[in-house]
Amino acid sequence: MVAGMASRAITSKEALSLKAGKTHSEPIGGRGSGTLLLVGREKQVSAYYRYTAPNGVRPWVELGLLGSKFSLKQARERCIAYWNMRKDYPYLKEHLEGQAHVEKERFEEQKRNRLEEQKTATLKELLDDYTAFIEDQGRISAKAISKTLDSKVTKAHPLIVAKKAKSIKPADIQEILTPLSREGKKVYRNRIRSYLHAAFKYGLDREYDETRTSGKVFGLTVNPVAAIPVLAGVESAGERSLSEVELKLLYLNLSETKGVGVLMSCFIRYLIAIGGQRPSQVLRAKWSDYNLEQGYFKTVDRKGRGSKDRIHLVPLSQRAIGILEQVRPLTGGYQWPFSHNGKQPISIQSLKNVARRFLDSDSARGMEPFTIRDLRRTCKQVMIRNKTSRELRNLLQNHGQTGVDSKHYDNDPHAHLPTKKETMAKYERTLKRIFEDQHDKKVVKIDINN
């Protein structure tokens, strides 16, 4: 038993000077109230509250170390507070330890929640993951989508994109889209809604994809964009197709249009020459996908949910090969035939400028507005007029095939190549008639109103 001092109140100076091994005990109140116990340590003094429990045990409840942050007065006040607590909790020490355990668990839970919150992606991180994903998938529009989301969502609405993706509500999406509607940019509004919807769908589908850029969890349970309707009647289904005269004007005069470069002019003429294939798939095709000796090139169809990539072999006419020979001196050292810098193919978004600039030229005097998207429909109309069957048109333009034959086609893309070549040869004969075989000659402008 350590040596002690008399049971009397001492000063703070005396308490702090208590030597190691010495103790001081003083009662808090009347009988049974307990005592303040001070124990001298090496260069410090520990304070305890000591009392008698109902089972006769006399536990010590640690109060703390006396010093600048915990005074003798505070030690006495804490002892009195514990004395009062014993009226409700006779086994005070056990009660305090239980509380400490609960507080520790609460602290650990809060810590875990904070860590989980840090691991949970914001809307910006979701959008970054999504755009990185579609770029990895080789989507030709990935950079344009990323640029649009950055300018119209991330930079325009910094407070919204800073929110956790899982906490985004339809009202947040509405706040992003409403300014575009008010500005009359309804087509643009629908497209951004589409991009946001796709991003949240990606988050729902790819929660456990460890290859994601951010490496964070999304925690999504619903797609908040689904509650926001698409504005109806904004974009027409698309019925415009160019007449034979208009097609001839475009094909033969585009290269002379101000603001349309040689490479872009060749690409548009190439689309026409190969029967209106999808521009995005054609642009993705690299020189290594071409077999000029056998007269075809390969595109990859990445459309369709959950389906594997489907190879489409496109036959090449002499007209198409001639256009490729025109661009080879410009892009033969690049991966892609149609690329301005060798780092990526021509941007799909830049195609809309071609039609606009051509329509502004003298060559297109009197022509109704059209877009490059209308060329696919135009080429199909050419095939309809030369009595190509629907089945062969769809085969050449790579529309989805069904039935047992489609399985054979999916497994062996070369299976239908001979048929496609016959269809392309028939299509080329029609083009030759339309253009009157003058695609290498200077063309006199035609006024389609006369």
Confidence of residue 75 (pLDDT cuts 50, 70, 90): very high
Secondary structure E strands in 309-433: 310-315
Domain-embedded: residue 441: no
Phi/psi at 300 (nearest 5 deg)? -115, 125
- Indicate if 130 and 106 belong to the same structural domain: no
Over the stretch 402-419, which tens digit does the pLDDT of each residue have? 443 454 455 688 889 999
Closest to 364 (Cα-Cα) out of 353, 355, 372? 355
* 26-35, 278-287, 389-398: segment of lowest average pLDDT: 26-35
Distance, C-alpha 274 to centroid of its chain: 34
Q: Which two tokens stand for residue 179?
A: 């300014």
Single-letter amino acid, residue 107: F
Over the stretch 170-181, which tens digit does the pLDDT of each residue have? 999 999 999 999
- Indicate if 370 and 252 belong to the same structural domain: yes
Single-letter amino acid, residue 211: T
Give the Cα separation of 288 and 364 in Å (integer). 36
Domain-embedded: residue 235: no
Among the candidates 227, 258, 277, a domain finishes at 227
pTM of the full structure: 0.55
SS3 for 170?
Answer: helix
Q: Which residue has the higher pLDDT, 262 or 237?
A: 262
The helix or strand, by DSSP H or E, that contains position 287, with its residue range, turns out to be none
Among the candidates 183, 201, 227, a domain finishes at 227
Give the Cα separation of 13 and 28 in Å (integer). 19
Q: Residue 140 pLDDT > 90, yes or no?
A: no
- Indicate if 47 and 84 belong to the same structural domain: yes
- Indicate if 223 and 283 belong to the same structural domain: no
The stretch 327-352 carries a mean pLDDT of 92
Q: Which residue has the higher pLDDT, 104 or 167?
A: 167
Asked if 153 and 176 count as a contact pair (C-beta separation under 8 A), the reply is: yes
The CA–CA distances, whole Å, from 4 to 11, 40, 61, 288, 346 equal: 16, 10, 18, 94, 91
- Indicate if 112 and 129 belong to the same structural domain: no
The CA–CA distances, whole Å, from 141 to 103, 136, 145, 261 equal: 53, 12, 6, 21
Asked if 34 and 44 count as a contact pair (C-beta separation under 8 A), the reply is: no
Give the Cα separation of 318 and 299 in Å (integer). 19
- Indicate if 164 and 265 belong to the same structural domain: no
The stretch 429-441 carries a mean pLDDT of 75
Closest to 7 (Cα-Cα) out of 46, 37, 41, 44? 37
Predicted local distance difference test score (pLDDT) of residue 447 = 44
Q: Residue 206 pLDDT > 90, yes or no?
A: no
Confidence of residue 69 (pLDDT cuts 50, 70, 90): confident
Q: Which residue has the higher pLDDT, 212 or 358?
A: 358
Predicted local distance difference test score (pLDDT) of residue 2 = 40
DSSP H helical ranges for 236-342: 244-253, 262-273, 279-284, 318-331
* 48-62, 94-108, 213-227, 425-439: segment of lowest average pLDDT: 94-108
Q: Residue 184 pLDDT > 60, yes or no?
A: yes
Number of domains in the chain: 3
Predicted local distance difference test score (pLDDT) of residue 400 = 63
- Indicate if 142 and 54 belong to the same structural domain: no
Mean residue pLDDT across the chain = 86
How long is the chain?
Answer: 450
- Indicate if 170 and 97 belong to the same structural domain: no
Torsion-angle region of 70 (φ positive above 0: left; ψ -120 to 50: alpha; else: beta):
beta
Give the Cα separation of 422 and 315 in Å (integer). 9
Among the candidates 171, 198, 227, a domain finishes at 227
Percent of the chain, pLDDT > 90? 60
* 40-44, 100-104, 109-113, 315-319: segment of lowest average pLDDT: 109-113
- Indicate if 407 and 313 belong to the same structural domain: yes
- Indicate if 87 and 35 belong to the same structural domain: yes
Closest to 266 (Cα-Cα) out of 325, 214, 222, 306? 325
Closest to 402 (Cα-Cα) out of 284, 304, 285? 304
Over the stretch 3-50, which tens digit does the pLDDT of each residue have? 444 456 789 899 888 999 899 999 988 888 999 999 999 889 999 999
Single-letter amino acid, residue 102: V
SS3 for 306?
Answer: coil
Give the range of the structural domain holding residue 148, as residue numbers without chain letter.
Answer: 123-227
Asked if 393 and 383 count as a contact pair (C-beta separation under 8 A), the reply is: yes
Q: At what angle do helices 417-435 and 262-273 cross, to 10 degrees?
A: 120
Q: Which two tokens stand for residue 137?
A: 């998938």
- Indicate if 193 and 281 belong to the same structural domain: no
- Indicate if 291 and 404 belong to the same structural domain: yes
Closest to 280 (Cα-Cα) out of 407, 427, 186, 144? 144
